[in-house]
Structure 1
Amino acid sequence: MGSTLQLVTELYQAYNSHRPDQVADLYAPICRHRDIAVGADHDSPEKIAVGLAGLFEALPDVQWRYDEVLIDGNRAAVAYELVGHLHGRLGSYRPVGQSLQLSGVQILEVKDGAITSSVDYWDGGALHRQLSVTAD
């Protein structure tokens, strides 16, 4: 059974190792992940893993850096910066190697050594400005 801080550490290690299966293993069977900027709402570890796999395909060098974690019992707030380059299709964005740098905050809830809830807040406008390309 992992502590809240241990689960945060393991989650971001799994993100940075591009292992959606390891991320899924950190979630409880009944869980919820919401990505506020894109309106995604996943209700199982498997759906979370599928979403991440698509992100890893589009941004094969994506990394999360975090240095601020606030723990309050079974909850954590993680301020992070996501960096990478677009080399695969991401929604309506076509890849031409655009650099991406997004700041965000993820709120996690933990119960019985597993993540039961995560909510990710980041700036969709920043993503759009950085990944949009002008017409040829």
Structure 2
Amino acid sequence: MVRETVGTEPPGGDVVGAFYDAYNAGNATAAAALYADDGWHEEAHNGARRAGRQALREGLERFFAFLPDARWERREQIAAGASVAVVYTLTGHLGIDLKGAPTKGRPITLDGIHVFEIADGAIVGTRDYWDPTAFGRQIATTPATGTGAREPGA
């Protein structure tokens, strides 16, 4: 159960709930369709950004191959105006080997925060804040200073 902390539902109804439903179903097309035509997603740790539904869908398809059983648990949601912040825990198992190391099947657990901007019932943009150092420790293919990976954020 998500703990609603502050504010009210942003304009557009429960687009945030639909976002996590699509993510947890591994449905890149449904997730990308929730964004405005020129919607964007940014990885806060490195500034990598995808814009437009096609780029978002393609990025998510790669992500779901990377972590095919990905599951986001919404722990807390804070809404203020047209912005929503969601504290989440992402779990799953790697679907590939990374950098030649046998990492396929390795479990991953990451805490993070998604920040949504919503207008006219669509997601205008999302920023994903997660710790690449924590990810690096879990895959253990690089020193604990991080992987430089653009994943796992979608």
RMSD (Å) for aligned C-alpha atoms: 1.9
Between the aligned partners of 2:40 and 2:46, the Cα distance in structure 1 is 15
> What is the match of residue 68 of structure 2?
60
Structure 1 residue runs of 5 or longer lacking an equivalent are none
> What is the match of residue 73 of structure 1?
81
Which of residues 82, 102, 108 in structure 1 aligns to 2:90? 82
Displacement of 1:96 after TM fit? Answer: 3.2
TM-score of the two chains, using structure 1 as the length reference: 0.88
Q: 1:27·1:45 contact (CA, 8 Å) conserved in 2?
A: yes
Aligned structure 1 segments of 4 or more residues deviating by more than 2 angstroms = 2-5, 92-96
> What is the match of residue 25 of structure 1?
33
Matched residue count: 132
Structure 2 residue runs of 5 or longer lacking an equivalent are 1-9, 143-154
SS of 2:14's equivalent?
helix
Q: State the percentage of identical aligned residues.
A: 34
SS of 2:56's equivalent?
helix
Q: 1:70·1:76 contact (CA, 8 Å) conserved in 2?
A: yes
Which of residues 9, 34, 38 in structure 1 aligns to 2:42? 34
Displacement of 1:38 after TM fit? Answer: 4.5
Displacement of 1:89 after TM fit? Answer: 4.2
Between the aligned partners of 2:68 and 2:136, the Cα distance in structure 1 is 18
TM-score of the two chains, using structure 2 as the length reference: 0.78
